[in-house]
Amino acid sequence: MDIWGIVIESVVKILFVLTIMLLTVSYLVLAERKVSAWIQSRLGPNRVGWGGALQPFADVAKLLLKEDIVPKAADKTLHTLAPFLAIFIAFSTYAVIPFGPPITLFGREINLHLADVNIGVLYVLALTSLGVYAITFAGWSSGSKYSLLGGIRSSAQMISYEVSMGFSIGGVVMMASSLSPVDIIESQSGWMWNAIVQPIGFITFLVSAFAETNRLPFDLPEAEPELVGGYHTEYSSMKFASFFMAEYANMIIASGMIVMLYLGGWQVPYIEKLGLGSPFTQIIQTLSFFVKVGFLLFFFIWVRWSIPRFRYDQLMNLGWKVMFPLSLLNIVWVAVVIMLFN
């Protein structure tokens, strides 16, 4: 394969993923407002464009035109760095998530992911663990006690639930005998989805994903009633928008990880037996990945507007006294399944 072909393929895939991701983030905000309105018997945004379809563009224009205010007591370097670090980490994790099987286009086999990394799962875990720095930097550098408390809460919360998340993934790695995202998806052929084989691991990973993305009922780092807005209280304009985009981008990557690890990725059970032909099968499998991710995004929004926020002691007790033991129990269960059924 010539070098220019590789470069062009890589650039096209990067632009495609960035475009899809930015549009999804924008309209995920609109979807959140629409779903919350539906749950609360309200109308939601319905003035800008048909049914409010252009509301995301109006929100972006408003944030672009707002003044960027930096508190006098803030550490200006870290205050500026934090939101860009958050969005860089959120965007970088998309590189290893496969959203479809390899396709043949113009006589070339093209993988539907940006990078085929044989330790892709570790790559995602490493990057997401760095996300705590962005929030901690934002809280500490703002020079505000509310922001500082939000940053401290975030560091304790994310570190606590990363332990459960890591052990939950341990069961998946044992089943697939690989850290490669593609191998993990291919190991779930038919109905051998990990959510069915190891439901405890699926539940612990799902709950940990809520905590890692700071979504209700785990949004203690921003908790408006007691911390005004938490770690991003002192942010405005596009810096605030960067944190906002990072949160929704993390929702998408968390949903993609859940689909990849536990819901079979692009796998559609026994689709090969339908005899549709390779192109149609590949299209259906790719669409199935996005449908699964879309359902999980709806689930994230649904939970936010249905369950009240935990107290902080409840959150930490759940992480260390419930989730951690369950994730260890899941590893024992997977080991027994492997011994009995090979």
For the segment 26-43, the average pLDDT, to the nearest whole number, is 90
Whole-number Å distance between alpha carbons of 218 and 339: 37
Q: Is 185 helix (H, G, I), strand (E, B) or coil?
A: helix
pLDDT higher for 289 or 276? Answer: 289
Whole-number Å distance between alpha carbons of 103 and 312: 47
For the segment 296-303, the average pLDDT, to the nearest whole number, is 93
Among 10-14, 201-205, 325-329, the least confident range: 10-14
Nearest of 106, 118, 125, 88 to residue 12 by alpha carbon: 106
Q: Is 109 helix (H, G, I), strand (E, B) or coil?
A: strand
Query: Would you say residue 288 has pLDDT above 80?
Result: yes
Q: What is the CA radius of gyration of the chain?
A: 21
Q: How confident is the model at residue 302 (pLDDT cuts 50, 70, 90)?
A: very high
What integer pLDDT is reported at residue 221 of this predicted model? 77
pLDDT higher for 123 or 276? Answer: 123
Please give the C-alpha separations between residue 111 and each of 108, 116, 207, 266, in angstroms, as whole numbers: 10, 8, 31, 13
What integer pLDDT is reported at residue 261 of this predicted model? 93
For the segment 132-150, the average pLDDT, to the nearest whole number, is 87
Q: Could you write out the three-class secondary structure of 19-71?
A: HHHHHHHHHHHHHHHHHHHHHCCCCCCCCCCHHHCCHHHHHHHHHHHCCCCCC
For the segment 103-110, the average pLDDT, to the nearest whole number, is 73
Q: How confident is the model at residue 202 (pLDDT cuts 50, 70, 90)?
A: very high
pLDDT digits (tens, 9 = 90+) for 311-321: 888 888 998 99
- Could you tell me if 134 and 292 are in contact, meaning their C-beta atoms sit under 8 angstroms apart? no
Average pLDDT, the chain: 87
For the segment 35-49, the average pLDDT, to the nearest whole number, is 89
Q: How confident is the model at residue 160 (pLDDT cuts 50, 70, 90)?
A: confident
Alpha helices (H) in the chain, listed in sequence order = 3-39, 55-65, 76-92, 120-141, 145-176, 181-186, 194-197, 199-212, 224-227, 237-262, 278-304, 312-317, 324-341
pLDDT digits (tens, 9 = 90+) for 65-96: 888 888 888 888 898 899 989 888 888 888 88
Query: Would you say residue 342 has pLDDT above 80?
Result: no
What integer pLDDT is reported at residue 226 of this predicted model? 76
Whole-number Å distance between alpha carbons of 248 and 52: 19
Query: Would you say residue 113 has pLDDT above 90?
Result: no
pLDDT digits (tens, 9 = 90+) for 245-283: 888 999 999 999 999 999 988 888 878 777 666 778 888
- Could you tell me if 235 and 70 are in contact, meaning their C-beta atoms sit under 8 angstroms apart? no
Query: Would you say residue 332 has pLDDT above 70?
Result: yes
Amino acid symbol at 311: R
What integer pLDDT is reported at residue 323 of this predicted model? 92
- Could you tell me if 62 and 80 are in contact, meaning their C-beta atoms sit under 8 angstroms apart? no
What integer pLDDT is reported at residue 277 of this predicted model? 62
What integer pLDDT is reported at residue 275 of this predicted model? 66
